[in-house]
Amino acid sequence: MKTVDKYIFEALDNYPYSLVETIESLDYALSYDDKNTMALCLYGRVQADQLLKYEEAKEYFQQAISININAIEVYSYYINTLILNEDYAEATRLIDFALTIKGINKVEILLKKVMLLESRKDFKKALKALKEARLETLSNEYDYVIEETEKRLHKKTNKKSKTGSKKEKSADKKNK
């Protein structure tokens, strides 16, 4: 095992419970290999998830992808960051590209697509993407997430249609 891998494992083992040790291990890893996509990805995750510095996180993710476009560990976190930062067009393009990468977890990427569509309030398309994610699953690992997401989307769809029908009724009353 390479020394850089040892530090990557330490960083992954410490994240997110010991951020100081995580950063220390990442610094060591990057001192051995400044092009290590796993270390850059985890640095991006720390920036996005812990410090809420989405622009800085995006830089780490972009750097990792520029080193290795097939760094499949990066895409899910990068897409999540783009959605949280409301960079919807960029997230859409990255989702479309990520789905073409051999070996990527398509279910994970499709769930990010659902998240994107839900954040844009496009619940029907989100439900359609969720069905696509369900078809891609190869284990029971995602069943709970898919079921709960489906329930949440159905609630939102029902609320949206009820709100719409209430507005129509009040408009009809005003017109009479």
Question: 87-96, 148-157, 163-172 — which is least confidently predicted?
Answer: 163-172
CB 167: neighbour CB atoms within 10 A? 10
CATH superfamily of 1-104: Tetratricopeptide repeat domain (1.25.40.10)
Whole-number Å distance between alpha carbons of 72 and 69: 8
DSSP 8-state secondary structure symbol assigned to residue 2:
-
Structure tokens, 151: 């329930």
Residue 174 has pLDDT above 70, yes or no: no
The dihedral formed by the CA atoms of 94, 51, 5 and 7, expressed in degrees to the nearest 10? 170
Residue 145 has pLDDT above 80, yes or no: yes
Instruction: Please write the tens of the pLDDT for every residue from 84-142.
Output: 999 999 999 999 999 999 999 999 999 999 999 999 999 999 999 999 999 999 999 99
| pLDDT bucket at 1, cuts 50 / 70 / 90 | confident
Across the chain, mean pLDDT equals 92
